[in-house]
Amino acid sequence: MGSVQRIASVINLDPEGIEEYEQLHAAVWPAVLAKISECNIQNYSIYRYGVLLFSYFEYVGEDMDGDMELMGQDPNTQDWWAVCKPLQRPVSEILEDEWWHTLPEVFHHD
Amino acid sequence: MGSVQRIASVINLDPEGIEEYEQLHAAVWPAVLAKISECNIQNYSIYRYGVLLFSYFEYVGEDMDGDMELMGQDPNTQDWWAVCKPLQRPVSEILEDEWWHTLPEVFHHD
């Protein structure tokens, strides 16, 4: 096993889209899940606090930028994002290349 | 290995307390970390979004309520909480027995 990179990030939902978003995520398309695994992402969870979504995953590969690019080129993932993104509202703090906004880690204990 | 229970929760910080909270959590007392491990909590991270803290951990024991009670009875942990709690501001949605507010999981992929 190489190193694990923990990535946490936030995005808002359209308040009108909460129900649809949760229904979609209760049954994510298998091809999308397969691509997530293929791109070295593990232990991926999303939680909701009001309209705020919090995402946590572990990247276990050697080239996260490269893997993220591969994921973005996958037609199934693109179709999935086309369904999900209209329900999302990026937070005002996003950087130029962000959709979800990455958070700083304050504490970790294995 | 038994089952893993993933627990995510939120709490606010006093805006004036962010720096102190982060300094404390950059060097959590070893006795507190040892008790966390002893109470079957693993892979514990805290992230910050503005004044909102997001916590994620995995409970790997067989009796989470019992282990949480053990943790609450530990004198070192009590001292630690006495330092940290004045910096925290529980969110308005907390239930009667909460300090941190537990969030529903919207999605998970191993």
Task: Enumerate domains of chain A plus CATH numbers.
Answer: 5-102 (3.30.70.1090)
Cα nearest neighbour of A25 on chain B: B107
Instruction: For residue B26, give every residue at least 6 positions away whose Cβ sits within 8 Å of its Cβ, in sequence order, or none.
Output: A107
Q: What is the pLDDT of residue A93?
A: 96
Residue B6 has pLDDT above 60, yes or no: yes
Smallest Cα distance from A42 to chain B, Å: 6
What mean pLDDT is predicted for residues A91-103? 96
Number of Cβ pairs closer than 8 Å across A and B? 95
Which residues in chain B have their CB less than 8 angstroms from residue A25's CB? 106-107
Residue A16 has pLDDT above 90, yes or no: yes
Q: What is the pLDDT of residue B2?
A: 63
Q: Is the pTM of this model over 0.90?
A: yes
CA B9 from chain centre, in angstroms, equals 8
- Indicate the pLDDT class of residue A84, thresholds 50, 70 and 90: very high
Nearest to B54 among A8, A50, A108 (CB): A8
- Give the CA distances from residue A49 to residues A38, B9, B91, in Å, rounded to whole numbers and listed in that order: 29, 9, 10
- Indicate the pLDDT class of residue A2, thresholds 50, 70 and 90: low
Percent of chain A with pLDDT over 90: 97
DSSP classification of residue B86: G
Neighbours of B77 (CB within 10 A): 19
- Tokens coding A97: 């290349």
**Contact between A54 and B22 using a beta-carbon 8 Å cutoff:** no
| Torsion angle (degrees, nearest 10) of CA B49, A98, B102, B42 | -90
